[in-house]
Structure 1
Amino acid sequence: MIRELNKSKKDNDKITELSIFAHGTASNVAFGYENTGVEYIYIKNPTNMNNYNIGQLSREDFANNARIDLYSCNSASLFGFGEKTFATTDAMIKAVDIGRSFAEQLSLQSGARVTGVVGRTDYSPVISGQLPTLGGMGGPNSPSVRDRSSAIRLIFTPIRKK
């Protein structure tokens, strides 16, 4: 996947918008369901985008105003958030702000505005031609929050918070 994205700079055709539909766990976007476990986060695998290979993505491939939308589960969840319960939504967002999720790392690496999800995505609307929606929270790879049952979509910009 990254090799294909990196071809843009050779073609002098910058990426302005990119939507990624895939499976995901914290710090790992998998283009095959069999590669979604925690053990794939740092493994070199051409069917995954993860912390191991995201550094190979070239910022030169993306236009200055580029946008990336991640429709995979947990693309904005931090590694180690699986099965963790937060007291409030604000507490979870604060924890995401302190760490660096895959979605934020992708934003920093590409220079693009990236949207990602803490929790699960629901692909059932795709049957009727719509985009995936926010799903639930909790489970072996998703955090949960006591005051909510639905996932949260977060937006990351390429400027690192201090």
Structure 2
Amino acid sequence: MRHPLRATLVTAAALAATVAAATPATAEEADPVDLFSGEFALGCRSAATEGTLHWETTPTPDQSPGSVNVAGVLTSNDDARCLRRGLLVFTAYTGMGQERVDYATVTADNVPDGLPFAFSLTNELGTSAAPIDLVQLQVCVDQGPNLPAFACGAPQFFTTTDLEPTD
């Protein structure tokens, strides 16, 4: 059986590789990349994601060092009994969680083949010029009219300390 999340991830990964290849760098200067994946289900509602976090450590003309380029795909169930949306929440921090400097959300309403996404998390709102060193990801599903509106799985944390530069 064809796995739509993986097929769409290949497209998103190819896009991320194309963007990364546009900036030449030696092996010593290459920015680290981390893979993420997650899923959460509540009854007949479910959401899943896979993708990459590209940690920008080398300044470019249009991006300051310390930002994180995020690319991936979000799928949500297509069960007709559960017309609900999947939600991803990415939150960026400096100081290993001491200051929240950016966040982004991605939503998908019943997209079983996957919704590709790509964006950058930056430290433009932070009080210091420190680079982003921690990204938190949560996968959530819409609970409908009940409060709270979304239920989320356990947060996942990604840091620059565990990464090695890529070739």
Query: TM-score when scaled to structure 2?
Result: 0.25
Structure that is richer in strand per residue? 2
Structure that is richer in helix per residue? 1
Q: Which has the larger radius of gyration?
A: 2
